[in-house]
Amino acid sequence: MSGNHELEKLIKESSLPQLRKIELQQIINGERLADLYYDVIAKRIFSPDLYPERMDFILQRTMNDPSLSTDKSASNEAYLSNIYAKKTITDIPAWLRNGWMSNVEMQLTAQEYIFNRADIYASNMLLLQYSKEENGLEDISYGNVNGAILIVLMVNSPKQFREFKSDRYIHRITKTKSDSGMEFELLRQIVFVQLDKALELYLKENYNEDEDVELLKLFAMIADINNEKLKKETQRDDFFEKIREDVFAFTRDREVLNMLTAEDFARMDYYTDISDAKKQGRDLGIEEGIKEGRKEGIKLGIERGRAMERKRADELQKELDELKAKYG
């Protein structure tokens, strides 16, 4: 493509990993497809307005509910407030025809606080449903408020999921249970999807007999759209081929390529900031540790010296008492 020399030069001179530079160059040349979990790509390819059937596919099959249907996209600014999260998290909110609100997030980084974050997001979505302005109902009550569905697609599974022994890659939280055994449905429904595990299961063909293979294929495709085995086995499927075609066509736009590169740079800056913060924390901890160590060492030395003095004094007193007893 012509007109991309400046972008190519920017990539070449950047501090991005060499492999990522090569992949970006291949995307620019049309030799590689951009990953579906890029913010700019995902919001286009799975747009509730442009491709509602794709969002329906994800919602219906992930939630095991064929009645779910997308109405239109929904603004996400009301409940996405962490500026750092925007650099690494793609979210695609939508209003459903049944009045519920949904949000599909693609979580690139493995976050230890994934449960807390999802709970907060889903709760904020539910609060929007309890808002007269957003909900559209004249009289909102606890009895008629609509629910919210949050689907978190994890490109890299956090430690909690990696260590959890299960042959499943989808984890649905649609009800809760008390310690007395009482169960009830939740208005905020959260689903965690391990995309990396989905890809592994698909490639190894190591999935359960009741597995929704078509859904597994899509999640594996989101994890790695350039995988050769997946490409070969879905190349005659209109649903998957159309997604690839749309990704390719969309990334022929120079502005889109600029946005892709900007995402990589922003992500790199984010990781660098985190790494620097951790290093500063370690350095400060070491420095403070040395200071505290010196203090503790001096304190310990004084205490030991005093103990030795007391011991020696006791020994001298004992010797003196023995001499008194011997010679009167």
Give 90-120 pLDDT, tens digit per residue: 689 999 999 999 999 988 888 888 999 999 9
**What is the amino acid identity at position 223?**
A
CA-based angle 84:85:87, to the nearest 5? 70
Both tokens of 154, joined, read 């994890």
Q: Is the pLDDT assigned to residue 298 strictly greater than 80?
A: no
Burial class (CB in 10 A: 0-12, 13-18, 19+), 211: middle
Q: Is the pLDDT assigned to residue 291 strictly greater than 70?
A: no
Rounded Cα–Cα distance for residues 143 and 137 (Å): 12
CA 166 to chain CA mean position, Å: 19
To the question of pTM greater than 0.85 for the whole model, the response is no
For residues 36 and 78, the model is more confident at 36
Least confident among 116-120, 171-175, 201-205, 315-319:
315-319
Both tokens of 317, joined, read 């007193």
Grade residue 273 by pLDDT with cuts at 50, 70 and 90. very low
Rounded Cα–Cα distance for residues 212 and 199 (Å): 14
Rounded Cα–Cα distance for residues 250 and 50 (Å): 13
Q: What is the radius of gyration, based on Cα positions, of the chain?
A: 30
Report in angstroms the alpha-carbon separations of 32 from 23, 234, 263, 271.
7, 17, 17, 25
